[in-house]
A and B are shown apart, each in its own frame.
Chain A
């Protein structure tokens, strides 16, 4: 099996190298095609490797070469890596195809040769991170990924604000990288090995304090990349600056890499086993989810909106991971398995629909000339295909059946409800609060994406420029591909859950599939998790239903514990069928009853004014203003100040209203930190007076301190 994985992995890097190489020789106009082809082939190869690894049982492991005095560079592809690789490959594939048409807008404005180069390096480094199995290689690949993604975000460097956004991204990313490096190198020094395989099982040896420090440092470092609160302010700034295809990769893959880091280090290498650590993940996840969706709802730049929504979704994933850790800590392995499955399911869903939405945002930007929802509108008439795939993405992210977002959010919420079985009252309270936050998040997500879709595609346009045409086929096809996957994952969760369970065997102690997808209508009724009588009843029912309904039950089930034996079950697949039948029925009834009527189209009734002007249609800001008003006191998503220009008291010539987003993390933490650093630098500036003797004195003093420290330790 291992040979079957090594070859496609080699192909990935080969195609990337070919892409970079030829990028220097073909003309700028040809580069989009080149990038699309090599990128698609490379991600196709990655897909091959991931699928091969997921289907096969063996773990791919290979030592590449040994560097003297440092160690062996090894690569390996276990199921977790393969799962992340699968998602990355899918997103990059879609994004690469999309680029074929999308990148043409830059010809003659920015250097596409450079773009191609960074893009291929980013793709290669992502794959490298996922397969790397030792600390040094991992850190190098991580840094390579950070820098190439920074360069890609910074691509439109002549546009206002791009440089600041890119710089912020780089700076916070590097801060996270430092924390991760310190933690991993510290671990390596303790364990005496740079290879990940050496880390496994070390958590007992290193002691509690060290374990906690490693956890906090790596969680901080990786959550910067994942975009968790409070270190998320780079994300909503970087996305609007980045080209759409890069945004899709950023949101669909690179955020996942942050999660990958947390999973790899904190769940796999040095597993965290205490409820305290789990609740940090849980609470941070809940806060990220709620803050993310609040900002998303009040945002009017479509890409910034999607970026905030990414924070929300990654928050939900982290929340699931935290719940899993807590359940593990309290000895509820099945529940923990459910939580991890829910988290990974949600991460997969997020990758798919978020990259779909980002590509859609790119298509809108390209055709309408703006991403500002306050100025968009009525695009469904000129962009019907883009509108329909965007609608699929919006429905999926809002958590509406029959799409995938529904399944994973349902699973996450249900798992949180099972916290009633936990023995600790405090922990139950934390779960209740986080569950409430998640429920509010889910509700606000609907508001947010109703706004995103309605303000973009419905109504009339508020901007001067009228879009002339729909997005090209190369743009719609990858979006449709992602949309189809969203539907598939939403309709067939009973096939996805076992797959996820198998994938997560490394971090799940007990099988959770049986609790989630019981083999009711077929298979054995003997079942450990459920009471026999209940299963027998269901089986009898299934025996009858199974005669005309297919499959492995197609029912997702959540059964309470002994104290709360309520069964929650749902079947997206049957629901989807029923929905289809109902829609057809309604259509038939409507057609029958209105067949003899003739409809007359008249002008829109507007109270008798000559015509409705674009300025008279609802804006995105107006739509979300109630949310802003309601949450103003708690979260301050934006602050407003009016300035009025008047000729006299009775005559206003202009009322300017300024609104700027204030991120609580920034205003509470980063701005004071920055001020403190500047203050500190001012204090030290006094030392630089140019006297040689003093400088020699400084050096001497420093040497002394180091010697003392060395002696003490």
Chain B
């Protein structure tokens, strides 16, 4: 599969509608709906072709798959983000009786894990998917037939029939009589690493391939949100992944705000930019610390760790919480900040920014450090685009997508900032992107604080009823999308979180192929992914 050359004239909404109608005619029906276009697939035979068209020819970003169980049938919603057009939802309906839904994996590789997830949690079969089963619900712990996301499954019931499968064994693909699998985790580094089980298929020093086994932290956030009030689910949205808590709660609140179409006060919207960028800066400092640690460069690690802790303290002093919990609320922010707090924050940001510059400069001239990062875990632009990698990882390979630019939210459109990107896609490129993004975040915070005007911090907002809500934010790791369906009492009927880590973990093995064993921690650290955000 090659990347289609960018079309000469950028496609606009009308042009897209015409093209879709030409290509697929009666197979689909189109519906213009904010914030973009809904493509109803009437004939499932054209699903793959439609996805291929949107992903490759229209150069769309694949946002993810949202599965719903409604009125005795499956509703599958494939999200695409098209430049200059916005969100295009491809909707497929399928009765329960239908045996299998055509898989789009062959056309859109990025859809692989989304379909596996749907198969594991809902029990939907996808026709043509190369491997299904044993994904989120580990087969050694859960029985195959359990489908927790089904409506009839009661999340509170713990004493269901369970017979752990002792016979389960991993699928190894390297066929060499001398190869063996080196297990790492789920409890490794003294537990300071997030629980992921890595199976390194190796013949000694060289690792041929690596398979991460995730979802040890599966807490069924999407399931336990069902039936809860919106304000309670907000707590879940910001607590399922602390490294990007603010971004996720922002995406959640914006989903509701988009649904009721209210304009939140300018002060709140600008403060949201300040806080989101503060979170990004702090996250990147932590990620840089991890990279320094992986190369065992202790002084630089300590340097980055101090920056991170100072930012955590600045966050707590500014907002009352080190990880920015409890700030976002529907219609704005829960608390206002004082002038003096802003000044202190600016000082802390300036300090962190200058320290990061010093650190970057020193690292840049440490050849032993660069030797370990350069050409390690490289992902080509083709592969990055193929799996639609997001965030700093994608940008290091040249996929310069950023929701802050692509479909601006909060008050990002007011400020000037760059989306840094690199071409090499190796560990060093990812480190450079992290540093550059941290600089941009500091710039954004300065601009946003300068633009703050006194005013309301939130508007009262009641949860809407019987509607669909969709919000997004560029989390530190990449694009985060939150989709909601609210029932007639304003309670959550279906909550869907599409996280950047979930997407990037799919691409992790591309970087972890044919490498020397000692490079593994470096590849892992330069990816800087969060298991908890992926597992939910």
Interface residues of A (CB under 8 A from B): 300, 372, 374-375, 462, 606-610, 612-613, 615-626, 628-629, 642, 647-657, 659
Q: Can you identify 11 A-B contacts, CB atoms within 8 angstroms? A: A607-B183, A607-B185, A625-B203, A629-B204, A648-B105, A649-B382, A651-B112, A654-B173, A654-B175, A655-B175, A656-B175
- The reply to whether B188 and A607 form a contact with Cβ atoms under 8 Å apart is yes
- Which positions 375-423 of chain B face chain A at CB distance < 8 Å? 382-383, 386-387
B296: interface (CB < 8 Å): no
- The reply to whether B507 and A650 form a contact with Cβ atoms under 8 Å apart is yes
Query: Chain B contact residues: over half helix, strand or loop, or mixed?
Result: loop
A626 and chain B: residue at smallest CB distance? B205
In the complex, what distance in Å separates the CA atom of A617 from the CA atom of B183?
9
What is the count of residue pairs linking A and B with beta-carbon distances less than 8 angstroms?
Answer: 121
For the complex of A and B, 3 pairs with smallest distance between CB atoms: A621-B178, A625-B204, A657-B176
Contact among A374, A613, A617, A648 with B177 in the assembled complex (CB-CB below 8 Å)? A374
In the complex, what distance in Å separates the CA atom of A617 from the CA atom of B175?
16
B200 and chain A: residue at smallest CB distance? A616
How far, in Å, is A622 (CB) from chain B's closest CB? 4
- The reply to whether B183 and A652 form a contact with Cβ atoms under 8 Å apart is no
Contact among B182, B185, B506 with A608 in the assembled complex (CB-CB below 8 Å)? B185
Residues of B within 8 A of A619 (CB): 177-180, 203
How far, in Å, is A644 (CB) from chain B's closest CB? 9
B382 and chain A: residue at smallest CB distance? A649
Most A Cβ at <10 Å: residue of B205, B386, B507, B510: B205
Residues of B within 8 A of A612 (CB): 183
In the complex, what distance in Å separates the CA atom of A626 from the CA atom of B204?
7
- The reply to whether B186 and A649 form a contact with Cβ atoms under 8 Å apart is no
How far, in Å, is A374 (CB) from chain B's closest CB? 5
Residues of B within 8 A of A617 (CB): 180
Most B Cβ at <10 Å: residue of A374, A609, A623, A625: A609
How far, in Å, is A1 (CB) from chain B's closest CB? 57
Residues of A within 8 A of B130 (CB): 647-648, 651, 653
How far, in Å, is B409 (CB) from chain A's closest CB? 30
Residues of B within 8 A of A606 (CB): 183
Residues of A within 8 A of B209 (CB): 652, 655
B208: interface (CB < 8 Å): yes
Residues of A within 8 A of B181 (CB): 613, 615-616
- The reply to whether B109 and A616 form a contact with Cβ atoms under 8 Å apart is no
In the complex, what distance in Å separates the CA atom of A651 from the CA atom of B112?
9
Residues of B within 8 A of A648 (CB): 105-106, 109, 130
Most B Cβ at <10 Å: residue of A375, A608, A654: A608
- The reply to whether A622 and B386 form a contact with Cβ atoms under 8 Å apart is no
Interface residues of B (CB under 8 A from A): 1, 105-106, 109, 112, 130-131, 140, 164, 166, 168-170, 172-188, 195, 197, 201-206, 208-209, 382-383, 386-387, 506-507, 509-510
Contact among A372, A620, A629, A650 with B112 in the assembled complex (CB-CB below 8 Å)? A650
- The reply to whether B176 and A618 form a contact with Cβ atoms under 8 Å apart is no
B174 and chain A: residue at smallest CB distance? A655
How far, in Å, is A138 (CB) from chain B's closest CB? 44
In the complex, what distance in Å separates the CA atom of A657 from the CA atom of B180?
13
Contact among B175, B188, B510 with A657 in the assembled complex (CB-CB below 8 Å)? B175
Supposing A615-B180, A621-B204, A657-B208 touch, asked if A650 and B386 sit within 8 A by C-beta, the answer is yes
Given A628-B204, A655-B176, 11 additional A-B pairs, CB 8 A:
A607-B183, A610-B168, A612-B183, A619-B178, A619-B180, A622-B203, A625-B203, A648-B106, A649-B382, A649-B386, A654-B174
Residues of B within 8 A of A655 (CB): 173-176, 201, 208-209
In the complex, what distance in Å separates the CA atom of A641 from the CA atom of B159?
51
B138 and chain A: residue at smallest CB distance? A610
Residues of A within 8 A of B175 (CB): 654-657
Supposing A625-B206, A626-B205 touch, asked if A620 and B178 sit within 8 A by C-beta, the answer is yes
B186 and chain A: residue at smallest CB distance? A608
- The reply to whether B109 and A650 form a contact with Cβ atoms under 8 Å apart is yes
How far, in Å, is B133 (CB) from chain A's closest CB? 14
- The reply to whether A609 and B178 form a contact with Cβ atoms under 8 Å apart is no
- The reply to whether A616 and B183 form a contact with Cβ atoms under 8 Å apart is yes
A605 and chain B: residue at smallest CB distance? B187
How far, in Å, is A453 (CB) from chain B's closest CB? 18
Residues of A within 8 A of B170 (CB): 613
In the complex, what distance in Å separates the CA atom of A610 from the CA atom of B187?
12
How far, in Å, is B195 (CB) from chain A's closest CB? 8
Residues of A within 8 A of B382 (CB): 649
- The reply to whether B203 and A657 form a contact with Cβ atoms under 8 Å apart is yes
In the complex, what distance in Å separates the CA atom of A656 from the CA atom of B386?
24
A622 and chain B: residue at smallest CB distance? B204
Most A Cβ at <10 Å: residue of B105, B178, B184: B178
- The reply to whether B204 and A657 form a contact with Cβ atoms under 8 Å apart is no
- The reply to whether A374 and B178 form a contact with Cβ atoms under 8 Å apart is yes
In the complex, what distance in Å separates the CA atom of A269 from the CA atom of B174?
57
In the complex, what distance in Å separates the CA atom of A300 from the CA atom of B203?
12
In the complex, what distance in Å separates the CA atom of A462 from the CA atom of B176?
13
